[in-house]
């Protein structure tokens, strides 16, 4: 990342002693990153963003540049035909090295991929489910027995190769001794809409 981009991403909290950084360098920085995605529609551009805001309270414990920092920036994106939608991004970096970019354009989230191109991205419930099992000391075999499922099903769920569905979430919640609503929220399932009469 260039010094100007780094200054714009770390210009918080603003102090009276320091001149504010120029956030107008951020749209081009974000567009350059998005345009590296082979499927990105080049008609869409980030048109402007405001100042960056830290996503966590900065710590003075680590030397500058060694601890990753994540910031949030918000603005607008447009398609060249006058259509504009809200845009936001979370940028994680350490020193001048970019670690991760997650963007949201309108209602669409664009996140980093962790698998090779052409391979299925794991469902994000997998790592959380694995950690919950570990914290409770529940083995794959035990979880499979409690859920009435095959061990291969539990393994697929743990590795994000299986999208959780309502019946499975209910079984997992009971085995984890958690509420079904909490596990459904963690799994990203939509709330059931009550039927109207």
Domains along the chain with CATH numbers: 3-110 (no CATH), 125-187 (1.10.260.40)
Q: Hey, which residues does 74 pair with through a beta bridge?
A: 88
In tens, the pLDDT along 159-174 reads 988 888 899 999 999 9
Give tens-digit pLDDT for 65-96. 568 888 889 999 988 777 888 988 888 888 88
- Report whether pLDDT(195) > 50: no
Rounded to a whole number of angstroms, the CA Rg of the chain reads 21
Mean pLDDT of 171-188: 92
What's the pLDDT at 102?
A: 85
% residues pLDDT > 70 (the chain): 82
Percent pLDDT > 90 in the chain is 28
Q: Which segment of 1-5, 138-142, 174-178, 186-190 scores lowest on mean pLDDT?
A: 186-190
Predicted confidence at residue 193, as pLDDT, reads 41
Q: What is the pLDDT of residue 138?
A: 96
Distances (CA, A) of 41 to 63, 79, 113, 120: 39, 9, 18, 22
Q: Note the pLDDT of residue 37.
A: 79
Predicted confidence at residue 18, as pLDDT, reads 59
| DSSP letter assigned to residue 23 | G
Q: What pLDDT, in 10s, does the model give residues 105-132?
A: 887 777 766 666 666 667 788 999 999 9
Among 89, 106, 113, 71, which residue's Cα sits nearest to residue 31?
89
More confident residue, 52 or 21: 52
Decide if 111 contacts 86 (C-beta within 8 A): no
Q: How far apart are CA 101 and CA 92, in angstroms?
A: 6
pLDDT of amino acid 116: 62
- pLDDT averaged over every residue in the chain: 82
Pick from 11-20, 27-36, 51-60, 95-104: least confident: 11-20
CA distances from 69 to 8, 95, 159 (A): 13, 9, 27
- pLDDT, residue 156, reads 92
pTM over 0.85: no
Q: Helix, strand or coil for residue 176?
A: helix
């Amino acid at each position: 990342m260039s010094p100007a981009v780094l200054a714009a991403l770390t210009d918080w909290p603003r102090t009276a002693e320091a001149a504010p950084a120029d956030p107008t360098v951020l749209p081009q920085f974000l567009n350059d990153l998005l345009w590296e995605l082979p499927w990105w529609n080049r008609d869409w551009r980030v048109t402007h963003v405001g100042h960056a805001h830290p996503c966590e309270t900065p710590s003075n414990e680590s030397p500058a540049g060694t601890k990753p920092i994540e910031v949030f920036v918000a603005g607008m994106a447009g398609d060249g035909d006058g259509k504009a939608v809200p845009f936001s991004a979370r940028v994680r970096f350490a020193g001048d090295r970019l670690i991760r970019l997650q963007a949201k354009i309108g209602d669409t989230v664009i996140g980093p991929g962790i698998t090779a191109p052409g391979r299925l991205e794991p469902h994000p419930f997998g790592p959380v489910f694995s950690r919950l099992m570990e914290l409770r000391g529940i083995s794959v075999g035990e979880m499979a027995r409690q859920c009435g499922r095959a061990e291969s099903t539990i393994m697929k769920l743990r590795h994000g190769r299986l999208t959780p569905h309502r019946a499975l979430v209910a079984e997992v919640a009971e085995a984890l001794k958690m509420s079904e609503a909490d596990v459904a929220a963690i799994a990203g399932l939509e709330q059931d809409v009550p039927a109207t009469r």
